[in-house]
Amino acid sequence: MVASVEPYGVGLPKVFGAGVSLGMCAGIVIGSLVTLWLGEAAVDLAHRTVERLTGRRDHLNFELLLQ
């Protein structure tokens, strides 16, 4: 037997919206707890890693020193 689903029902958008809201709240809470648990040193380490991978870290340009 196939269950009938109303294509224009109001229930599905409400369930989707509730799921999105719950996911956002859970993400904020989990992110805050991880940040408090790891501390600022881990955040600095992650920041330096991202800067190193993107090539935006401050480093000496040795080619300019040879001039």
Q: Model confidence over 28-42: pLDDT tens digits?
A: 999 898 888 878 878
| More confident site: 9 or 46 | 46
Is 48 part of any domain? yes
In this prediction the pTM is 0.45
The Cα 27–Cα 29 span in angstroms is 6
- Domains held by the chain: number: 1
Instruction: Identify the residue with better confidence: 60 or 47.
Output: 47
Q: Is residue 40 part of a domain?
A: yes
Whole domain around residue 51: which residue ranges? 13-65
Q: d(Cα 55, Cα 52) in Å, to the nearest integer?
A: 5
The one-character DSSP state at 4 is P
What mean pLDDT value characterizes the chain?
A: 78
